[in-house]
């Protein structure tokens, strides 16, 4: 299991009494601890580096379970985000959190366990609805699990919730804890995948493609349902061949039958993010593609380029297996039709499509 360097713990006043904070402190016995106020940035906080070696334990006062904000003008999947913390110890150049949250340090919400009851009530109050929930939007679901032990309590909790699934999305191969767990039901382990070139140049400190796929294979053999996310797809010279090779590797190790879905999404960014990325990763080639302003103000690859990328990947995926639950993340009806040959037409219908996959593929 890869362990990341944590050089100090910042603990916000009030968080020190939470059981999760206590467990984390026990797991990191020799790391210096500083007590800080709620809005106080740590002294000498390394803003440019996002201060990724500081673990900040804090109470979260917002809603732990919130719908993914989606984006206007495009079809969204109706995902629910479980806020366990923000930022992650890896450093993908394209990460939207650099501008979306723009707060340094690895932030762990120490009062998560206390709020599980509330989350459970929300889920139980709509028994006919399927809650597709993930922890991998604002952090990596597994990279800090060896410190936080998130999966120790999230797996048993969601395994019992019949109308929900928990998707743990990662770019690591840190699966030891989940493999040891006896809970499989309603847990989906997801990998964000990209070509080896993109992983090497843009996804700093993440696991290699092969490690991720081998970890996925182990999870599959251990009885977990899997999903994969090709997001962000990056357009660069040779992309077609290299994404093809990435899919070939996936096909070699993974049984498609228990893959619940595979999402495709292309690199998109708000204008502010470009400034931040250029500053944090000078000379990056990530903006070399042909980006134009989208309907939601984000820059995206020019439409024919997106269509070509989605078409090629989805055709190849279809050859592998014709029921992989391939869907597009934040794309228009028009792009869906041109790329995949069909469209859910609306966010509500995409939700229904993905919910039906949960009903069919996730064992009761």
Partner 1 sequence: MERELLKSKASKVEISDIDLAPGPFSMSFHFNLEPLKASINRFGVLNPPYLLKNSDSRFTVVAGYRRLLAVRELGWTDILCQIAPDTFRPFKALLLNLSDNITHRQLNTIEKAMVLKRLTRFLKREEIIADFMPIIGIRANKQTLELFLGLEELEEAIRASVAMERLSLRVAGLMRSIARDDRLRINDLLTSIKWSFNQQWEATQWIIEIASREGCSIKDVIDGGEITEVLNSQRMNNPQKVRSIVKTLRARRFPTLVETEKLFRKGLSHLSLPLGVKIIPPPFFEGVGYRLEIVFTKGQELKGKLAELSRFSGLEGVTDFWKGKEHR
User: Which of 258, 332, 347, 352 touches partner 1 by CB under 8 A?
Assistant: 332
Provide the minimum distance between the beta carbon of 301 and partner 1 in the complex, in angstroms, as a whole number. Answer: 9
How far apart, in whole angstroms, are the C-alpha atoms of residue 281 and residue 92?
10
Instruction: Look up residue 59 and give its two tokens.
Output: 């109470």
Strands 33-36 and 8-12 turn out to be parallel
Q: Tokens 């797809």 identify what position?
A: 233
Contact status: 338 vs partner 1 (CB under 8 A): yes
* Interface of this chain with partner 1, residues 215 to 274, rule: CB under 8 A: 237
8 Å CB contact between 253 and 216: yes
8 Å CB contact between 298 and 332: no
Provide the minimum distance between the beta carbon of 206 and partner 1 in the complex, in angstroms, as a whole number. Answer: 23
Provide the minimum distance between the beta carbon of 278 and partner 1 in the complex, in angstroms, as a whole number. Answer: 6
User: Which of 197, 218, 280, 303 touches partner 1 by CB under 8 A?
Assistant: 303
> CB-wise, 255 or 345, nearer to partner 1?
345
Q: Which of 208, 197, 169 is nearest to 286 (CA)?
A: 197
Classify residue 75 by its DSSP letter: B
- Let me know how long the chain is: 364
Contact status: 287 vs partner 1 (CB under 8 A): yes
Contact status: 283 vs partner 1 (CB under 8 A): yes
Provide the minimum distance between the beta carbon of 349 and partner 1 in the complex, in angstroms, as a whole number. Answer: 18
> CB-wise, 217 or 284, nearer to partner 1?
284
Backbone dihedral angles phi then psi of residue 230, each to the nearest 5 degrees: -95, 80
Number of residues that bind partner 1 (CB under 8 A): 25
- Compose the 174-193 pattern: x for residues touching partner 1 by CB under 8 A, - for all others: --------------------
DSSP assignment of 217-255: HHHHHTT-EEEEEEEEE---TTHHHHHHHHHHHHHHH--
Q: In this structure, how many other beta carbons lie within 10 angstroms of the beta carbon of residue 119?
A: 22
Taking CB under 8 A as the binding criterion, the range among 107-115, 124-132, 192-200, 284-292 that sits at the site for partner 1 is: 284-292
Instruction: Look up residue 40 and give its two tokens.
Output: 């106080």
Contact status: 348 vs partner 1 (CB under 8 A): no
Contact status: 43 vs partner 1 (CB under 8 A): no
> CB-wise, 56 or 300, nearer to partner 1?
300
Contact status: 3 vs partner 1 (CB under 8 A): no
How far apart, in whole angstroms, are the C-alpha atoms of residue 356 and residue 350?
10
Contact status: 69 vs partner 1 (CB under 8 A): no
299-301: strand order across its sheet: 268-269, 299-301, 291-293
Provide the minimum distance between the beta carbon of 330 and partner 1 in the complex, in angstroms, as a whole number. Answer: 13
Contact status: 316 vs partner 1 (CB under 8 A): no
> CB-wise, 69 or 73, nearer to partner 1?
73
Q: In this structure, how many other beta carbons lie within 10 angstroms of the beta carbon of residue 29?
A: 6
8 Å CB contact between 140 and 148: no
Q: In this structure, how many other beta carbons lie within 10 angstroms of the beta carbon of residue 124?
A: 12
Taking CB under 8 A as the binding criterion, the range among 168-176, 206-214, 303-311, 353-361 that sits at the site for partner 1 is: 303-311
8 Å CB contact between 20 and 58: no
User: Which of 244, 285, 315, 356 touches partner 1 by CB under 8 A?
Assistant: 285
Strands 131-134 and 80-82 turn out to be parallel
> CB-wise, 34 or 290, nearer to partner 1?
290
Contact status: 294 vs partner 1 (CB under 8 A): yes
Site residues for partner 1 per CB under 8 A: 73, 237, 275, 278-279, 282-283, 285, 287-288, 290, 292-295, 300, 302-305, 308, 332-334, 338
């Amino acid at each position: 299991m890869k362990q990341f360097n944590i050089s100090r713990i910042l603990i916000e006043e009030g968080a020190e009494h939470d059981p999760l904070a206590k467990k984390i402190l026990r797991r990191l016995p020799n790391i210096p601890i500083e007590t800080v106020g709620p809005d106080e940035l740590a002294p000498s906080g390394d803003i440019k580096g996002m201060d990724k070696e500081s673990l900040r334990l804090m109470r979260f006062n917002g809603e732990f379970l919130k719908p993914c904000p989606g984006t206007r003008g495009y079809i969204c999947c109706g995902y629910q985000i479980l806020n366990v913390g923000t930022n992650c110890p890896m450093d993908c150049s394209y990460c939207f959190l650099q501008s979306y949250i723009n707060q340094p340090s690895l932030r762990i919400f120490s009062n998560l366990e206390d709020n599980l009851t509330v989350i459970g009530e929300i889920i139980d109050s709509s028994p006919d609805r399927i809650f597709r929930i993930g922890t991998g939007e604002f952090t990596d679901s597994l990279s800090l699990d060896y410190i936080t032990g998130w999966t120790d309590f999230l797996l048993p909790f969601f395994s019992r919730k019949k109308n929900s699934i928990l998707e743990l999305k990662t770019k690591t191969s840190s699966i030891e804890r989940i493999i040891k767990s006896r809970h499989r039901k309603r847990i989906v382990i997801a990998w964000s995948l990209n070509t080896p070139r993109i992983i090497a140049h843009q996804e700093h400190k993440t696991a290699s493609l092969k490690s991720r796929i081998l970890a996925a294979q182990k999870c599959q053999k251990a009885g977990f349902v899997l999903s994969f996310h090709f997001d962000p797809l990056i357009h660069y010279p040779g992309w077609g061949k290299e994404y093809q090779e990435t899919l070939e590797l996936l096909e070699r190790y993974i049984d498609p039958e228990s893959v619940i879905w595979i999402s495709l999404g292309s690199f998109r960014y708000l204008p502010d993010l470009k400034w931040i990325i250029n500053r944090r990763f000078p000379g990056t080639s990530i903006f070399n593609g042909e980006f134009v302003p989208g309907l939601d103000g984000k820059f995206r690859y020019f439409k024919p380029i997106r269509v070509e990328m989605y078409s090629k990947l989805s055709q190849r995926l279809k050859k592998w297996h014709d029921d992989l639950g391939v869907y597009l993340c934040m794309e228009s009806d028009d792009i869906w039709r041109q790329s995949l040959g069909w469209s859910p037409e609306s966010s509500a219908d995409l939700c229904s499509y993905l919910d039906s996959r949960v009903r069919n593929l996730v064992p009761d």
